[in-house]
Amino acid sequence: MALPRKKFIAGNFKMNTTSSEVAAYLEVFRLETDKINDIDIVLIPPFTSLTKASEILGGAQKIRLGAQNLSPEAKGAYTGEISAAMLRDLFVRYALVGHSERRRLFGESDEMVRRKLVTALKSELRPILCIGETLEERQAGQEKAILESQLRTALEGLSAEEISEVVIAYEPVWAIGTGLTATPEQAQEAHLFIRDYLGKMAGTSVANKARILYGGSVTPETARELLSQPDIDGALVGGASLDPRGFAKIVAAAVPADEK
């Protein structure tokens, strides 16, 4: 039997919060989560707020920092881009790749997502690979084919060890910022499919250890039931992460009942 996987909760602030607002946020959030242990917590503010957040956290083990994006290039004449080395210099340890908004609004292809993921791994950043289907794809019964295609393109050719460094975030596009949420049963079905596919790619051991997050209008009210599903190992939270107290409640929902 696989060992229990440590829960993982990430808050993606998107294009919200200035550096002064992040400072105020952290003051509240650290107090609210002070007694919560054994949960991996990652905050993903905008690039402009990472320096302030890094100064406050000082490389703290309890709350890690993530980036919303990164360049696939190491350095050079790429105006407006942010490299992995720049992020590592700020004690950033995770990077989102393939978020649905990057795919949809900025035209990032599966191949571009793969390049960013490989760059992150080479730079010792742990990628959070976002995959998910649109409403039209789900209604057409194509959701599993879409998930398989996105996973295969992003991970094919990587070693089992490299794949084990990737956190997967299943985000049904139709449930992001819409107020809609996949039912716990729908989410569990997708997560189990992803885990099974990882097993085919990298072996049962890697699949059993892989942490697969749910993202899509997660709130303090929906978190506990979602996180109680056997193959849901955490959450990638968007809008609800902007309220430090509300986000702390989502983190608390990940704590196993026997540890409270």
**Which residues are annotated as catalytic?**
99, 171
Q: CA–CA separation, 245 vs 228, rounded Å?
A: 21
Q: CA–CA separation, 60 vs 150, rounded Å?
A: 33
Q: CA–CA separation, 171 vs 99, rounded Å?
A: 8
Amino acid, res. 155 = L
Question: Can you give the length of the chain in residues?
Answer: 260
**Hey, how many other C-beta atoms are within 10 angstroms of the C-beta on 15?**
8
Tokens of 20: 């002064």
Which phi and psi (to 5°) does residue 6 adopt? -65, 130
Evaluate whether 30 touches 256 at the Cβ level (below 8 Å).
no
DSSP state, residue 7: P
Terminal C-alpha separation, the chain: 24
Cα–Cα distances (Å) from 20 to 6, 26, 27, in that order, read 31, 10, 11
Q: CA–CA separation, 50 vs 183, rounded Å?
A: 34
Strands (E), the chain: 8-12, 40-44, 63-67, 92-97, 126-131, 167-170, 212-214, 234-237
3-state class of 117 per DSSP? helix
